Structure 1
Amino acid sequence: MSHFAIGESDFLLDGAPFRILSGALHYFRVHPDSWADRIEKARLMGLNTIETYIPWNAHSPRPGVFDTTGMLDLERFLREVAAAGLYAIVRPGPYICAEWDNGGLPAWLFREPGVGVRRNEPRFLAAIEEYLDAVLRIVRPLQVDQGGPVLLVQVENEYGAFGDDETYLKAVAEIIQNAGITVPLVTVDQPVDAMLAAGGLDGVLRTASFGSRAGERLTTLRKHQPSGPLMCMEFWEGWFDYWGGPHHTTSAADAAAELDALLAAGASVNIYMFHGGTNFGLTSGANDKGVYRPTITSYDYDAPLDEAGNPTAKFHAFREVISRYAPVPDIVPASRPRAPETSAVLGSPVRLLADPDAWGNWASYDVLPSLDELDARLALFRTEVRAEVPVLLSVGEVRDRAYVFLGGAPVGVLDRERHDRALMLPRGGRLEIVVEDQGRVNYGRRLGEPKGLIGPVRVGSTELTEWSVCVIDVEAVPRLWDSVEPDVLGVGPTAWRASFEVGEPVDHFLSTVAWGKGIAWVNGFDLGRYWRRGPQETLYVPGPVLRPGRNELVVLELDVMAEPVAHFVGEPSLGPLEL
């Protein structure tokens, strides 16, 4: 057991000054069988600590549930960090941002009107306490003063960029301490006077988040914290991508120079990200600062380890910088060889509009419900439009994408990013709308907002009623063929499948350039979303989800697939750097 404390100017480990050299590695973005590899590579770069957020909504997809299986096995992750001889920083939120769906806050939490969002509201605080008690029950025995790796626990996350409710922050800190956390607590905010003032707490160490101008940023931090160690809790050495934008990269040499300046100033650091990983499934978030921008599936982040865990130029540049300030192991990890290349024809199409009963359960509603009311990420809405002439279909607000069909034929798409609210129907008939949640906003005032078609749906001035709604069980798409026969190719969302052979189960990259928009699974594991808009043109397939011999690929195409063939390629393609 060790004692970790905040000294007058340094962190103190068993009474001696200790500089934290940390890297962000989110267990929930990496296959569990790859955790040890990524952690060991952090050690080989010279890091002594691993930091992770904890995503409340992933652990608690429903009220009263706290899942710690598979990729959510936080205890296993922290024990693997300890086994590598490293320490850990835990950032449980409850809000984490992280370009993660809803910033980690469960959508079910806000279905009851009036529940607070990141403020001192009783129902919000009660839910937070239940969550933090569950997660800190895992963390508590793994604190450094109990023989574990955890050095620090963070209170909330960049709260000064959102609000200034000090009673809320104090309540969160008290919940954490009452759950048995005895290591020091920290907050993090951008080094702006107003944010550091609003997001900090007396008696809790303030840290900052930035990626440049270290001296200036640390001076601002020191103004708000006259004593104690200086730390950049998020040293931004890369950035995330959104659909329709470029792939973001930063200069390895420039990032290394910034890291050198930070360490030369005597500060501790957490590199965000050391290894970004992947937004598997439907976990990616979005931003909306006037224009909705959903985050892509890859969370490569232009980090020292790429999405597949290979060292990048930044790894070697950072390792050299760190060696000036701390011992670095002699071993340098090598990149893996090119991934295997193969192709497989997609067949056995199953169309949603031809047999929706196989895709989910139907219910009737007088007024169109939101996706939140349905507890759905994807749904089919059906009603009748009575009109003999062209008529305007309008919606209050689209969150996020609606595919409109009339009499089984496509009419158009209403897209949130374009602020679409209306289109013309050529006549009356059976109206079907497939509504897709593309990711909840993870930053700012739109946290917790409902998804789906918001506000009345009208034709002309008449509100449409008498809706039949099929909630599509997205997780069950790979099992569709157990209960339904393949159909001839037609319009609308279609599930496809293919078999492909694998010799050795190593990482693969699935090209999506000839496809439209949808989701892909390998052996039932959800690889995440793809979209021809880019920038991302491949999906990462972790080696541990594959098996020697026959493997199954399932693709849910929501739009149009130009070529129903799966191509596995040798290298990832994350898209152009400029548009």
Structure 2
Amino acid sequence: MDRFEIEDDDFVLNGEPFRILSGAIHYFRVHPDQWADRIHKARLMGLNTIETYVSWNFHAETPDSWTQSGRADLDRFLRLIQAEGMYAIVRPGPYICAEWDNGGLPAWLFANPTVGIRRDEPQFIAAVTTYLNRVLGIVAPLQIGNGGPVILVQVENEYGAYGDDASYLRKLTDITRSAGITVPLTTVDQPQDDMLANGSLPELLKTGSFGSRAVERLETLRKNQPTGPLMCSEFWDGWFDHWGAHHHTTSAGESAAELDALLSAGASVNIYMFHGGTNFGFTNGANDKGVYQPIVTSYDYDAPLDEAGQPTAKYWAFREVLARHSSLPAELPAARVPAPDFSVPLDRAVSLFSVADRLGSWSWSDGLPSMDELGQYSGFALYSHEIDLDRVAVLEIGEVRDRAYVFVNDSPIGVLARDHHDRSISVPAGRGTLSLLVEDQGRVDYGDRIGEPKGLIGPTVLDGVRLQRWGVLPLDLRSLAPVDAALDAGADHPRSLSGPVFARGHFSLAAVQDLFLDTSSWGKGVVWINGFCLGRYWSRGPQRTLYVPAPVLNRDRNEMVVLELESAACAEARFVTEANLGHTEF
């Protein structure tokens, strides 16, 4: 069997020095039927290795569940890497950041406030042990010494930016080794003395994360690690986007020059990202450094391979650099075929309020439960309270996480937005039902606010009186069967959409291929095609299209369901020839 190890300042494969030329592809951000295509294009660019994070909350949505099929089939992903003749790096966290919901940590992990996250605390270590044993049970048989592709496994992730609990890192290392991992173990931190010191152990290979000043940062890494191979295991070649900001891009020429400098210094590399993919469904993360900023659906990242898997200018610039340092295949990726441009009428619509009772069960409480307390870890919940006001009153809420549409008797009266720090709203005089449709827009993935519960966070006060007796209905949108049944009897051929409303349309295709759904004329909401949740859209931008992967489509009949939360002047969907991820920084 093959051997991969560290000797002096080199990675060594079967006794010969080996330079890792890796690119990041997160299997959970790419449709499984497109994994092989993305991996193949990585090899054609000149890479020899694929790196991926593993997202704990993607595999374990609840404490008692575990999924490793479909989009969560890590075993299949690693075997496809091997089939392409490439090697693999696995980074299982448990924390991954990755601009992913909650940094990959399951929300249910935070239900007990005594659990000590990312430190040597018995309850956390017990949960991590179970998780790592499951993941590494997939990885261990696929290590290079067992005939598989895996050559490195990472311990934690950028831990030096978070803590300095060496005992915690040592326990993770012991768990990893006990699970049968024999390949070299690594850590990654930004090349600062304190982070590199706090985020690793002497027996673990330190690697760096940076995207500029490569030579200088490799020198810092070498100062903190006198021996061992130099590696930038996150070479940042782009960045992610927030709703309401601009689309981030970086210069292909400048990124290529930094890559050349890094390789000329003899270092190994993992390009982050080679192919970013998409935050399908409700999987996007968020940041909060005083202002809450949810991350958009696209994770294009301005990477060498764009969101739809097509080579960009950066792909060709990187390929040219890699040709100076290694041998490249003669084959080139096939030219892109433009997507079709067409429109689809949304010919049925039904109010969310009319179907809500079919999407979950009400629970009533004298307090104000969070969504997490009801086991709703993403998506939406409907809060309800009966009111009887003889004059206009002000509703005050402790905190909204993250966006609440406020209604009286199903008529809208306003919005409370976390990113605007909204906590109060005027409620008109009258009697009836006060409802708040609350959206979890994505959990913070970095910093102190990881793990915070979602929903309405009390107290709630109306006209100076603290409200009791709340009803909460978590909306289960995993299956749209109840929505479809309601749409069958819903309004026919609506001219416009006044949210919150579900709308539906059908279309056929001349050929099955990737599509781009133009959302620029809609307000805010979510789209499903053939039951597959493409993710969120928002007029706030910058993103103006949603990527539709070809494997979710049929030739003869496709069903599209839109949940429009705000409004759309025309009940029509438009598909366009290419992606529009919005304006860049002026």
**TM-score by shorter chain over 0.5:** yes
Determine whether 1:515 maps to 2:517: no
**How far is the alpha carbon of 1:483 from its aligned partner?**
5.2
**How far is the alpha carbon of 1:442 from its aligned partner?**
0.3
Which has the larger displacement, 406-415 or 230-239?
406-415
> In structure 1, what residue type is equivalent to 2:576?
V
Tell me which residue corresponds to 2:427. Answer: 425
Determine if contact 1:477/1:495 at 8 Å carries over to the other structure. no
Tell me which residue corresponds to 1:104. Answer: 104
Q: Following superposition of structure 1 onto structure 2, how do residues 77-476 of structure 1 map, counting pairs within 5 Å?
A: 77-376=77-376, 377-429=379-431, 430-476=433-479
**How far is the alpha carbon of 1:475 from its aligned partner?**
1.7
> In structure 2, what residue type is equivalent to 1:556?
L
CA distance in 2, matches of 1:487, 1:388: 35
CA distance in 2, matches of 1:167, 1:270: 28
CA distance in 2, matches of 1:351, 1:476: 17
**TM-score, normalised on structure 2?**
0.97
**How far is the alpha carbon of 1:236 from its aligned partner?**
0.2
Determine if contact 2:205/2:228 at 8 Å carries over to the other structure. yes
Determine whether 1:562 maps to 2:569: yes
CA distance in 2, matches of 1:478, 1:338: 33
Determine if contact 1:352/1:359 at 8 Å carries over to the other structure. no
**How far is the alpha carbon of 1:335 from its aligned partner?**
3.1
Which 5+ residue runs of structure 2 have no aligned equivalent?
none
CA distance in 2, matches of 1:72, 1:470: 28
SS of residue paired to 1:354? helix
Write out per-residue CA displacement over residues 197-233 of structure 1, whole angstroms, 9 at most, x where no aligned residue: 1101110000000000011101111111110000000
> In structure 2, what residue type is equivalent to 1:223?
K
> In structure 2, what residue type is equivalent to 1:546?
L
SS of residue paired to 2:398? strand
The runs of at least 4 consecutive aligned structure 1 residues that moved more than 3 Å come to 487-492
CA distance in 2, matches of 1:97, 1:387: 46
CA distance in 1, matches of 2:566, 2:481: 18
Identity of aligned residues (%): 60
> In structure 2, what residue type is equivalent to 1:486?
G
Write out per-residue CA displacement over residues 528-547 of structure 1, whole angstroms, 9 at most, x where no aligned residue: 11111110000000001111
CA distance in 2, matches of 1:477, 1:375: 19
SS of residue paired to 1:254? helix
**How far is the alpha carbon of 1:355 from its aligned partner?**
4.0
CA distance in 1, matches of 2:356, 2:53: 38
Write out per-residue CA displacement over residues 61-104 of structure 1, whole angstroms, 9 at most, x where no aligned residue: 01122101111110000000000000000000000000000000
CA distance in 2, matches of 1:428, 1:374: 30
Q: Following superposition of structure 1 onto structure 2, how do residues 61-72 of structure 1 map, counting pairs within 5 Å?
A: 61-72=61-72
CA distance in 2, matches of 1:31, 1:181: 28
**How far is the alpha carbon of 1:479 from its aligned partner?**
4.3
> In structure 2, what residue type is equivalent to 1:511?
D
CA distance in 2, matches of 1:341, 1:433: 37
Tell me which residue corresponds to 2:581. Answer: 574
Determine if contact 1:409/1:491 at 8 Å carries over to the other structure. no
CA distance in 1, matches of 2:27, 2:340: 26
Determine if contact 1:231/1:269 at 8 Å carries over to the other structure. yes
Determine if contact 1:232/1:268 at 8 Å carries over to the other structure. yes
CA distance in 2, matches of 1:292, 1:213: 30
For these two proteins, the number of residue pairs brought into alignment is: 579
RMSD: 1.2
Which 5+ residue runs of structure 1 have no aligned equivalent?
none
> In structure 2, what residue type is equivalent to 1:340?
P
CA distance in 2, matches of 1:290, 1:105: 22
**TM-score, normalised on structure 1?**
0.98
Distance change (3 Å), C-alpha of 1:84 and 1:95: same
Tell me which residue corresponds to 2:490. Answer: 486
Tell me which residue corresponds to 1:33. Answer: 33
CA distance in 2, matches of 1:360, 1:342: 35
Write out per-residue CA displacement over residues 500-529 of structure 1, whole angstroms, 9 at most, x where no aligned residue: 111211100001011111110111111011
Determine if contact 2:276/2:301 at 8 Å carries over to the other structure. yes
Write out per-residue CA displacement over residues 83-142 of structure 1, whole angstroms, 9 at most, x where no aligned residue: 000000000000000000000000011111211111111111101000000011100000
Which has the larger displacement, 278-287 or 421-430?
421-430
Tell me which residue corresponds to 2:551. Answer: 544
SS of residue paired to 2:177? helix
Write out per-residue CA displacement over residues 295-326 of structure 1, whole angstroms, 9 at most, x where no aligned residue: 00000000000000000001000000001010
CA distance in 2, matches of 1:557, 1:435: 14
SS of residue paired to 2:343? strand
SS of residue paired to 1:246? coil
CA distance in 2, matches of 1:315, 1:269: 15
